[in-house]
Structure 1
Amino acid sequence: MTAYEYLLSYHIKPSVQRIAIMDYLLNHKTHPCIDEIHTALCKEIPTLSKTTVYNTLKLFVEHGAAKMLTIDEKNACFDGDVHPHAHFQCKVCNKIYDVEIPQNLSEAEPFRKEGFIVEEVHQYYKGICPECAEKGLMNN
């Protein structure tokens, strides 16, 4: 699915900027922050401002087309993959990885029994990624 089609499927009116930002999110699984997206796209769209990137990402999140991650308390990152999954942040290299939700933790049944309506689940894990562990890099 193209970024244009993806935006339409979430009832978002496509524009050049919106398509470029969504295309970036869908093709870069790095969980970028606003600055990263702006830096990457301002080369091809010189008139793109950080405010436009911010407002566009906010719109995507409001429509459910993207998720805002707050795993890193200093920066909000964004994910174009909206299927239920968890995130792992390496404390050494700071990369954020998509991880599957362990089956026993994904059940919202206890909440439903109590009358809660679960609309979102955010699971964040922090530790050392396999690449940094293999290199013997530990956060001191």
Structure 2
Amino acid sequence: MEISVELLKKELEAKKIHLSYQRLKVLEYLVQNRIHPTADKIYTDLQKVIPTLSKTTIYNTLKILVEADLVKLIKTEESEARYDIDVKTHGHFKCESCGEVFDFAINLEALQLADLKNCRINEKNVYFRGFCPGCQ
């Protein structure tokens, strides 16, 4: 199913989350820019459209969208948080040269997890680093 701003607006309404102009612009940005942006990247790009926008608004909006399961927070480095509008199960590959993050399909059910049978798994992430075809 294709992710659209209209679908996300309906999901926000269903969860009783107010859709302000700034939240709408952040959603639109994430739908139109599938680049796994950082909060700073979103802020820098949207400030051109909304000069009065603050970083606090960006961080608060992203927090609300993550808590509503409409956006996924991905950590590609210890201190780097990026945001993904695609919340379905998939992996991420980050190029060590250009820094771009790519999505790839993955079947987590196929993983052999017998050694973890007594563990409670809260989150499953697959993350690879290397060099993309354009940087090799």
TM-score interval, smaller chain: 0.7 to 0.9
Q: Tell whether the 8 Å contact from 2:4 to 2:31 is kept in structure 1 after alignment.
A: no
Query: How far off is 1:21 after superposition?
Result: 0.2
Q: Which residue of 1 aligns with 2:58?
A: 53
Q: Does 1:125 align with 2:128?
A: yes
CA separation of 1:109 and 1:132: change in aligned 2, threshold 3 A: closer
The whole-number CA distance in structure 1 between the counterparts of 2:120 and 2:104 is 24
Instruction: Name the one with the larger strand percent.
Output: 2
The whole-number CA distance in structure 2 between the counterparts of 1:99 and 1:3 is 23
Equivalent of 1:32 in 37, 42, 52: 37
CA separation of 1:116 and 1:14: change in aligned 2, threshold 3 A: farther
Any runs of at least 4 consecutive aligned residues in structure 1 with deviations exceeding 6 A, and if so which? none
Q: Percent identity?
A: 37
Q: Which amino acid aligns with 2:10?
A: L
Tell me the secondary structure at the aligned position of residue 57 of structure 1: helix
Alignment root-mean-square deviation, CA: 2.2
Q: Which amino acid aligns with 1:44?
A: V
Give the TM-score normalised by structure 1.
0.81
Equivalent of 2:11 in 9, 12, 34: 9
Give unpaired runs (5+ residues) of structure 2: none
Equivalent of 2:86 in 78, 81, 89: 81
Q: Which residue of 1 aligns with 2:95?
A: 90
Give the TM-score normalised by structure 2.
0.83
The alignment of Structure 1 onto Structure 2 pairs a total of residues equal to 129
The whole-number CA distance in structure 2 between the counterparts of 1:95 and 1:34 is 15
